[in-house]
Amino acid sequence: MKALLAIAVIIGGVAWFYGDAMAGYARAGTAYGAKNGCSCRHIGGRDLASCRDDKVDGMAAVFLTEDEDDKSVTATVPLIASETARYHEGFGCVLDSWED
């Protein structure tokens, strides 16, 4: 029981100490994933499963989903960050957080 408590305290301490950095990396990864996934899908015309193969090293925790009707792709790091990019005719794929 004490070992389990010690492990929980260590994990909590690491999460507290590195939390801001991890959240920043997660936000950058989801923004990159959403924009590239949207461009691959709606500009390149490829299947989203094929676009998932384009993720760079270190993006294993970034998951892509799409809304075909909305022409959008959402990238998520579970419980940490999420970003959506939508295709706009004439502008390409734009992150929702960049829209007014």
Convert the pLDDT of each residue in 58-98 to its tens digit.
888 999 999 999 999 999 999 899 999 999 999 999 999 86
Tell me the C-alpha to C-alpha distance, in Å, between residue 1 and each of 8, 10, 51.
Answer: 11, 14, 45
**Share of the chain residues as helix, strand and coil, in percent rounded to the nearest 5:** 50, 25, 25
Return the higher-pLDDT residue of 84 and 16.
84
State the burial class of residue 13 (Cβ atoms within 10 Å of its Cβ: 0-12, 13-18, 19+).
Answer: exposed
- Quick check: 13 pLDDT over 70? yes
- Quick check: 100 pLDDT over 60? no
What is the pLDDT at residue 16? Answer: 81
- Kindly report the pTM of this predicted structure: 0.80
Q: Is 39 helix (H, G, I), strand (E, B) or coil?
A: helix
